[in-house]
């Protein structure tokens, strides 16, 4: 396992084509990681696999790398999206980081009836996803979609993509957490026997989904309502739990 620093770059990676790092990465590599000429670094760009590259120039102002050899073939992650309603900032950042580690292809923040924070900073998400992808040794970054209303997303939904609706409540509104009637099935049961096609997980905000949202989702032909057990999980816990379940059932955790 290499301990060389690992960096995502946007440039093509091929022998003989030097790569100049942007300012932030130069600072990280030279000043924080204290690397100097001759040291090696691992680079990936989402297209050309992973390359070992040698630092040919390392100064406060510039870091130039020479790609030496490709060390890993390019592979992607399963076609899994995460749709989630932004919650408090730190928790939302955690969701973006964990979703990246758990191998989602696309992260799509959605506003729902009870979403508190309807302002997100895409560039912050992009930075969190880049750092998580570097650490988790992915060979690509998740796509970060712009914030959209859930209703708009549903209007244009491709029905070939299963929408796994993590519903925290059953339909018996006079029962605690909506009782059992109408509660979604456990993920393992709900996904059993379905071929593993493109999928998305949907996680609601702290206040959960509204009745109207629940109705629209349950009437939608691509939606699979699932329960994540008898306890109410925080959104960030539910996101991790649902992604772990999907990866182990249908994704690239199958070995």
Q: Which is nearer to ligand SAH, 24 or 206 (CB)?
A: 206
> What is the closest distance, in whole angstroms, from the C-beta atom of residue 252 to ligand SAH in the complex?
23
In angstroms, the CA 124 to CA 11 distance is 21
**From the CA atom positions of the chain, what is the Rg in Å?**
21
Nearer to ligand SAH, 105 or 203 (CB): 203
CB of 204 to ligand SAH, least distance (A): 2
- Figure out which of the listed residues 238, 240, 243, 245 binds ligand SAH, where binding follows CB under 6 A: 238
Residue 69 forms beta bridges with which residues? 52
Q: Could you give the maximum distance between any two Cα atoms of the chain, in Å?
A: 68
109-134 b/e (C-beta count within 10 Å ≥ 16 → b): bbbbbebebeebeeeebbebbbebbb
Report the residue from 164, 208, 243, 250 that binds ligand SAH according to the rule CB under 6 A. Answer: 208
Nearest to 85 by CA among 112, 106, 105, 113: 112
- Spatial distance between the Cα atoms of 82 and 222, rounded to a whole number of angstroms: 15
Binding mask 188-207 for ligand SAH (x = CB under 6 A): ---------------xx-xx
Residue in 31, 59, 229, 252 binding ligand SAH, rule: CB under 6 A: 229
User: Whole-number minimum distance, CB 226 to ligand SAH, in Å?
Assistant: 7
Using the rule CB under 6 A, give the single segment among 23-31, 32-40, 118-126, 227-235 that binds ligand SAH.
227-235
In the complex, what is the shortest distance from the CB of residue 210 to ligand SAH, in angstroms, rounded to a whole number? Answer: 10
Among the listed residues 152, 162, 171, 236, the one whose alpha carbon sits nearest the alpha carbon of residue 209: 171
Inter-residue contact 164 to 200 (CB < 8 Å)? yes
Query: Within positions 125 to 184, which residues make up the interface with ligand SAH, using CB under 6 A?
Result: 166-168
CB of 197 to ligand SAH, least distance (A): 21
Question: Tokens in use for 67?
Answer: 């790609």
Enumerate binding residues for ligand SAH (CB under 6 A).
Answer: 166-168, 203-204, 206-209, 227-229, 231-233, 235, 238
């Amino acid at each position: 396992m290499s301990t060389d620093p690992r960096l995502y770059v946007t440039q093509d990676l091929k022998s003989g084509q030097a790569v100049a790092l942007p300012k932030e990465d130069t600072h990280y590599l030279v000043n924080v990681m204290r690397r100097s000429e001759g040291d090696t670094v691992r680079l990936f760009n989402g297209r050309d696999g992973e390359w070992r590259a040698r630092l040919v120039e390392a100064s406060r102002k510039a870091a130039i790398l020479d790609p030496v050899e490709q060390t890993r073939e390019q592979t992607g992650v399963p076609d899994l999206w995460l749709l989630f309603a932004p919650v408090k900032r730190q928790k939302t950042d955690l969701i973006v980081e964990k979703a990246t580690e758990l191998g989602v292809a696309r992260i799509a923040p959605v506003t729902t009836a009870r979403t508190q924070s309807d302002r997100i900073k895409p560039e912050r998400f992009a930075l969190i996803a880049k750092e998580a992808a570097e650490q988790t040794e992915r060979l690509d970054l998740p796509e970060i979609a712009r914030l959209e209303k859930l209703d708009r997303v549903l209007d244009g939904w491709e029905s070939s993509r299963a929408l796994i609706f993590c519903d925290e409540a059953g339909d018996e509104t006079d029962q605690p957490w909506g009782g059992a009637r109408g509660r979604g099935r456990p993920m393992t049961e709900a996904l059993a026997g379905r071929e593993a096609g493109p999928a998305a997980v949907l996680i609601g905000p702290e206040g959960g989904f509204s009745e109207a949202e629940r109705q629209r989702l349950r009437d939608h032909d691509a939606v699979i309502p699932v329960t994540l057990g008898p306890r109410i999980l925080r959104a960030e816990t539910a996101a991790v739990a649902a992604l772990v379940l999907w990866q182990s059932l249908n994704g690239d955790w199958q070995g």
